[in-house]
Amino acid sequence: MAKRGAKSKELTIVGGSKPQKRKPRENDWTKAKEELFLTALGDTCNVTAAADAAGVSVSGAYKRRRKVAAFRAGWAEAIAAAYQRLELVMLDRALNGTEKIVVRKDGSEERMREYPNQIALHLLKMYRDSAVEAVEEPAEADIDEVRRRLFDKLQRLRKRISAQAHGE
């Protein structure tokens, strides 16, 4: 059943042998519900919370992701953005620490910075290879491979141009 609709007060076109218009049902996906869901998913990285925010079921969200390519792409984009934000927060926390208040036995307080080494180590492991690649010179074998591929491509282009010039 193919559906289209933007707002809950608009009519929805229902597919079949003869398309008909009808008011969307409460559980139909609308553009507004989709936007709410994707925004909440990007904010929370939590499908259940996003479904609650949009007023849809979790299973309905997964079903829509399977069937609608644009929604699937929006879902992936929302998750990627959320993970990037999370990574930035964790990196900031590893570099700048977090303030911690220590209460002594006499009731006085002391503020100190706590640096989560585990997070820093994890981030270092994740990006070690890409950081090393960024400063390393390309290997001679890699350069030779690029040259060979360019040469092969030029040869194919020459053959194609020659064939077009001879009317083949």
Contact between 35 and 56 (Cβ < 8 Å):
no
The answer to whether residues 15 and 28 touch, using CB atoms and an 8 Å cutoff, is no
Amino acid present at 18: K
> How far, in Å, are 54, 61, 74, 94 from residue 58 at the CA level?
10, 5, 16, 34
Q: For the segment 100-145, what is each residue's pLDDT rounded down to a tens digit?
A: 999 999 999 999 988 877 877 777 777 776 656 555 666 676 778 8
Amino acid at 46: N
pTM of the model: 0.52
